[in-house]
Amino acid sequence: RDIVKMSIDAGSHQILAKVYYSGHAFSLHLEHTIQMEELFTMVRLNCNFPDAQVFTLKWMDDEGDPCTISSQLELSEALRLYRHNNETVLLFHIFLGIPVEPGLLCPGEHKLYRHGARRWYKLKRILRQIKKPKHPRIPIESGPILDSGDSQDSKQFHPRFCYNECNCILTMSPQIFKQNLKQLLLHIPPSFCLSNYRSYLVVTPYVLCKQTPIYTKYKQTSASSDQASPNAPGFGLKDFEMLKVIGRGSYAKVLLVKLKSTDKMYAMKVIKKELVTDEEDIDWVQTEKHVFETASNYPFLVGLHSCFQTPERLFFVIEYVNGGDLMFHMQRQRKLPEEHARFYAAEIVLALHFLHEKGIIYRDLKLDNVLLDSDGHIKLTDYGMCKEGIRKGVNTSTFCGTPNYIAPEILRGEDYDFSVDWWALGVLMFEMMAGRSPFDIVGMTDNPEQNTEDYLFQVILEKVIRIPRSLSVKASSVLKGFLNKIPVDRLGCNHESGFQDILDHQFFRTIDWDLLQSRQVVPPYKPNIEDDLGLDNFDKQFTQEPVQLTPTEATVIGKIDQADFEGFEYINPLLMTSDVAV
């Protein structure tokens, strides 16, 4: 999607413009008295538009309606309303060309939301009126070490697990810690010894500590230097060789990299800090990091190797899955045999159940986010839309998702839980077996009025889904089960037996779930991988891009609040304790 986001800096009387165009992102610092001609000129220069190129700029108002900016009066009114409403972000969409007639959509506008997931924050716009303190540190809750005189009954303390000098911090009350200590000890390898240091639990390798734990008093780290300190634990950009670009989104670029010390391939997700400035963006990074940590080493979820940062960027080093995504393969095969769809759906069921058991709603299941590894097993990726902390009796109501996969209860503005993931699985299974979306209507693409997001939502809410007659009775039954518009009646949504209902469904009756969980079932298709890189399964528009990280201006770096990213660094603990591939 081609987007310009503007946030008003009241202190400097400048506007930070975040510009996304054709898969690239850059920032502009504009005066609050910006003239329309100046704005258009800056956009033209940064997007490399020739002087003759005509483009349209649309502003999304507080009701979510697009309003064309074609005069200084309209631009000034947009700025005035966002100041008046105390909004932090002003959203524009850039389109090449102009509508054929006034009132019609711009060329490509109907595809705006379909090419990637985005969040809607209408509810948060209301809640934003309630002033809140600045967002805390990204990855963890931090706090002072308790002195001997502090009351542990009234304060939280921080058990700290140290693998060498790489720390993973958990926050819990003394009572909860005592209740779970035995369970925690089950996950500590026998070669590790246990020591208490004031209110901390410190775990260090016995061979190194000789019963004296290696421990340094916790200090807040600073992200003020490009490379990590020579004595600091963890990885840095210098430890990796950048090989290829393999993906790009609104916020991030994904690189194929090689860890120099092991020659092992990883994917590296790179995010510019200048694009992570408001509460929603920080929430997204925080959630993605937490879920990556939770997902690590589960067979059907992409796991996290490490995280590090520079003053300019955040880096997620994750598993490299080189078989391509289901969208890539579906574009070549159009639709899949039921047996193939059954296998992929069954592994997705296990991945979703794992997340649900951890209190996480995935909320972004789609063909693009289902990857195939070199053997043909699936792995879900991209956790930025996840919602944590869901359990029985605790729901959420955020309006978010990829439009074609959004469940009816979200569109109705109802509270929801894991039900939305089972709806999305039904949509995805329909696409795999029918070769089209369940919400496609003959002739819709030729009618501009039916190419809108609102019309799609109306179809999801009201249209009776017709199952193709070519599908078997079992396939038809499972699709009807997942695509039930009433959540309580949907397959998988019974709070007592939902997961078992899926396992026992006749469509999955041939699946040996124990063998599937252990990856002992042979996949129906093995991706064609000619070398270790497996770049044939990635879009050439990415892999042919130059591999480089463009420098950020010092003035831009100076405006980044590095405190937002303190403690971002992370290393998967298994890297410290075993040779398990992560």
Q: What's the confidence (pLDDT) of residue 150?
A: 39
Specify the DSSP class assigned to residue 12: T
Decide: 462 and 121 in contact? Cβ < 8 Å. Answer: no
Beta strands in 109-233 (DSSP E): 118-119, 160-163, 166-169, 192-197, 200-205
- CA pair distance 255, 581, nearest whole angstrom: 19
116-117-122-123 Cα dihedral, nearest 10 degrees: -170
248 is in an annotated binding site: yes
270: confidence class by pLDDT, cuts 50, 70, 90: very high
3-class secondary structure, 391: strand
Q: Considering only residues 184 and 423, tell me which one the structure prediction assigns the higher pLDDT.
A: 423
- CA separation (Å) from 569 to 91, 253, 398, 565? 31, 19, 29, 9
What is the percentage of the chain residues whose pLDDT exceeds 70?
67
- CA pair distance 133, 460, nearest whole angstrom: 38
Which amino acid, residue 375? D
Decide: 526 and 512 in contact? Cβ < 8 Å. Answer: no
Q: Among 197-201, 481-485, 489-493, whose mean pLDDT is lowest?
A: 197-201
78: confidence class by pLDDT, cuts 50, 70, 90: confident
Q: What's the confidence (pLDDT) of residue 207?
A: 30
Which amino acid, residue 437? S
Decide: 240 and 307 in contact? Cβ < 8 Å. Answer: no
Q: What's the confidence (pLDDT) of residue 483?
A: 97
Most confident of 16-30, 200-214, 298-312, 565-579: 298-312
What phi and psi values does residue 565 have, to the nearest 5 degrees?
-115, 10
Paired residues of 559 in beta bridges: none
Decide: 112 and 1 in contact? Cβ < 8 Å. Answer: yes
- Is pLDDT of 385 > 50? yes
- Is pLDDT of 213 > 50? no
Angle (CA) 160 162 165, round 5°: 130
Nearest CA to 564 out of 134, 28, 124, 12 is that of 134
Q: What is the domain partition of the chain in residue ranges?
A: 14-124, 237-321+532-580, 325-518
Return the active site residues: 364
490 is in an annotated binding site: no
- CA pair distance 327, 340, nearest whole angstrom: 14
252 is in an annotated binding site: yes
Instruction: Locate 315 and state its tokens.
Output: 């880096």
Q: Considering only residues 547 and 282, tell me which one the structure prediction assigns the higher pLDDT.
A: 547
- CA separation (Å) from 51 to 4, 45, 47, 72? 20, 9, 11, 20
- CA pair distance 520, 500, nearest whole angstrom: 21
Instruction: Locate 28 and state its tokens.
Output: 């502009």
Paired residues of 226 in beta bridges: none
- Is pLDDT of 391 > 70? yes
Q: What's the confidence (pLDDT) of residue 188?
A: 43
Q: What's the confidence (pLDDT) of residue 510?
A: 95
Instruction: Locate 156 and state its tokens.
Output: 């939280």
Q: Among 283-287, 353-357, 461-465, 506-510, whose mean pLDDT is lowest?
A: 283-287
Paired residues of 568 in beta bridges: none
Q: What's the confidence (pLDDT) of residue 96?
A: 84
- Following DSSP, what letter does each residue of 509-554 receive, concatenated? TT--HHHHHTT-SPPS------SSS-GGGS-HHHHTS--------H
176 is in an annotated binding site: no
Nearest CA to 305 out of 569, 11, 3 is that of 569
48: confidence class by pLDDT, cuts 50, 70, 90: confident
250 is in an annotated binding site: yes
pLDDT tens for residues 288-304? 999 999 998 899 999 99
Nearest CA to 35 out of 95, 76, 5, 65 is that of 76
- CA pair distance 74, 37, nearest whole angstrom: 13
- CA pair distance 484, 168, nearest whole angstrom: 41
- Is pLDDT of 514 > 70? yes
pLDDT tens for residues 227-261? 443 334 578 999 999 999 988 876 788 999 999 99
Q: Among 97-101, 184-188, 508-512, 532-536, whose mean pLDDT is lowest?
A: 184-188
In the structure, how many helices (H) and strands (E) does the chain have?
Answer: 17, 20
253 is in an annotated binding site: yes
Q: Which CATH superfamily is domain 325-518 in?
A: Transferase(Phosphotransferase) domain 1 (1.10.510.10)
Crossing angle of the two packed helices 279-295 and 338-357, in degrees rounded to 10 = 110
Q: Considering only residues 407 and 204, tell me which one the structure prediction assigns the higher pLDDT.
A: 407
pLDDT tens for residues 158-194? 443 433 333 333 444 445 545 555 444 444 444 333 3
Residue positions counted in the chain: 582
155: confidence class by pLDDT, cuts 50, 70, 90: very low
Q: How many CB atoms lie within 10 A of CB 237?
A: 18
Decide: 493 and 419 in contact? Cβ < 8 Å. Answer: yes
Angle (CA) 567 171 189, round 5°: 90
CATH architecture, domain defined by 14-124: Roll (3.10)
Q: Which CATH number applies to 237-321+532-580?
A: 3.30.200.20
DSSP β-ladder status, 264-272 and 313-319: antiparallel
- Is pLDDT of 206 > 50? no
87: confidence class by pLDDT, cuts 50, 70, 90: low
393 is in an annotated binding site: no
Instruction: Locate 139 and state its tokens.
Output: 């990855």
* Fold match, 14-124 / 325-518: no
- Is pLDDT of 403 > 60? yes
Mean pLDDT, rounded, of the chain:
75
- Is pLDDT of 277 > 80? no
Nearest CA to 382 out of 398, 395, 363 is that of 363
Instruction: Locate 180 and state its tokens.
Output: 């779970």
Q: How many CB atoms lie within 10 A of CB 420?
A: 26
246 is in an annotated binding site: yes
- Is pLDDT of 397 > 50? yes
- Is pLDDT of 477 > 90? yes
Nearest CA to 322 out of 40, 150, 128, 537 is that of 537
476: confidence class by pLDDT, cuts 50, 70, 90: very high
Judged on CB neighbours under 10 Å (0-12, 13-18, 19+), 460 is buried
Q: Read off the pTM.
A: 0.63
Decide: 411 and 439 in contact? Cβ < 8 Å. Answer: no
Nearest CA to 163 out of 213, 127, 129 is that of 213
Q: Which residue is listed with tokens 């979703």?
A: 352
Q: Considering only residues 16 and 203, tell me which one the structure prediction assigns the higher pLDDT.
A: 16
Q: What's the confidence (pLDDT) of residue 502?
A: 97
Q: What's the confidence (pLDDT) of residue 156?
A: 39
